[in-house]
Structure 1
Amino acid sequence: MNTSPPWLKVKPWYDNCFFYNFDEIPFRGKEGEGVTITNLHNLFFTPAGIKEENIQKLTIDNYREHDQKLAREGGLDLVVLGLGADGHFCGNLPNTTHFHEQTVEFPIQGEMVDIVAHGELGGDFSLVPESYVTMGPKSIMAAKNLLIIVSGAGKAQALKNVLARSGYRRCSSFRVAAASFADGNR
């Protein structure tokens, strides 16, 4: 039974909208969808009645062509994303990607194994893959519009750093991207 609120149920204009995931962590040893698309289906696509043909999936198999595909399709009109307490967005965790990078594959090793296992896989280390893919700062900043959702006192300092243009070395690459974007240096 669909328990979605009435405002979220299928709308005719959804046929003109295409949805993209901006990172993906495949499940080790499993075929099919990864963590991000699975969560998006459960939390949004299915309750909202989004058609499968309107969902464009970034995967470990297609990430190399992702930015070219977006460019051919006219780019992203809107990216909705959150901001982590450490200043990260998408899979751009501190010390992973750099400002100039587009969609990339990043190895999961060292402390990242624990972060992924506990943060995304319910503590199941057997599901942690060798790598994940994410849209890098350059890919995200190419969007026509960004909507950043930040909630909680723990994220206040990260948001302050992003907006105040200070402490960017303590924040992820988003800090630099936001400053560059604000200066008109797209």
Structure 2
Amino acid sequence: MKKIIVNSYEELSELTANIVVSTMLQDKQVNLSLTAGSTPKRMYELLLEKMSHLGELTNIHYYTFDETPIRNQEGQVVGFDNFDGLKQSFFEPAKIAESQIVAMQDDNYSNFPELISAAGGLDLMVIGMGDDGHFCANMPECTQFDKAVYRVKLTNDFPWNAPYQEGLKGNYSDYMYTLGLPSLLKVQRVILIVKGASKAAAVKRALTGPLDQNFPASYLRLLPNLTVILDQEAAQQL
């Protein structure tokens, strides 16, 4: 594990964007898996600016690493939590062609690791971490560390599920699927980005605490291919 502590969220975003761009510029097909959420927001703004000077990057292919279908009260799928976030923050502004995106969905999630392997494997994955220790959709109480990919039924037994459902504004999710730790072990380079004082305790627990299945991010430090990028506030308890 390589740990990089920078002064600010801006520096974190700039460094991560530069790593993504340098990976993109390889003279081959490049396979990336990027994260949605609030932490990478500034990274995407910088990345879009940098990509605007690089011309068409048709050699880049994008793979999502987890998904949670969103349903309305009639049970119809009306969105996809991860893909919709990536579409809004990056795919659409960057004008990424649909042919360059492979999204994890109901009809392909079970063989998603094989799809990635057939394409040459992932060159880079950028992930975040929740203050509850989740990464991708490897969540407390339901992580399956022996599975390369798996599906989880969302139930009221998971304490984090109720707040998540409340945030869906009248819609709901009844399951999610995600790449697991064995899949991350095969990625050439995994970048974990964490910002803010609110994540400081979680960072300390993930990077220095005991391995704990109820705090999945604690297992990330087993990855030989992991780089952790933190701003000063997120690193303050280390």
Instruction: Please report the TM-score for the alignment, with normalisation by the length of structure 1.
Output: 0.82
Say if 2:201 is the partner of 1:153: no
1:3-62 residue CA offsets vs partner (Å, 9 max, x unmatched): x76434384352111111111111223346512111111111111121111111101221
The reply on whether 1:102 has 2:148 as its aligned counterpart is yes
Distance 1:173 1:112, change over 3 A: closer
Compare the two structures and name the one with the higher strand fraction.
2
**1:1-186 superposed matches below 5 A:** 6-9=49-52, 11-12=54-55, 14-28=57-71, 29-31=75-77, 33-110=79-156, 111=159, 113-119=161-167, 121-122=168-169, 124=170, 127-164=171-208, 166-169=209-212, 172-178=215-221, 180-182=222-224
Point out the structure with the larger helix share.
Answer: 1
Shift of 1:78: 0.4
* Distance change in 2, residues 1:183/1:16 (3 Å): closer
Distance verdict in 2 for CA 1:150–1:156, change over 3 Å: same
CA distance in 2, matches of 1:160, 1:107: 29
Amino acid at match of 1:70: I
Q: CA deviation at 1:168?
A: 2.7
Task: Identify unmatched segments of 5+ residues in structure 1.
Answer: none
Question: Distance in 2 between the 1:104 and 1:81 partners?
Answer: 18
Measure the CA separation in 2 of the matches of 1:169 and 1:85. 14
Q: Confirm or deny: 8 A CA contact 2:63 2:104 kept in the other structure.
A: yes
Paired with 2:107 and 2:134, the residues of 1 have a C-alpha distance of 24
Structure 2 residue identity aligned to 1:172: F
Distance 1:87 1:129, change over 3 A: closer
Q: 1:162 to 1:55 in 2, by over 3 A?
A: same
Q: Point out where structure 2 has 5 or more consecutive residues left out of the alignment.
A: 1-44, 227-238
* Secondary structure of residue in 1 paired with 2:163: helix
Bigger mean CA offset, 50-59 vs 168-177: 168-177
Count, aligned residues: 175
Q: CA-atom RMSD, angstroms?
A: 2.5
| Residues in 2 aligned to 1:93 and 1:106: alpha-carbon distance in whole angstroms | 9
Identity of aligned residues (%): 29
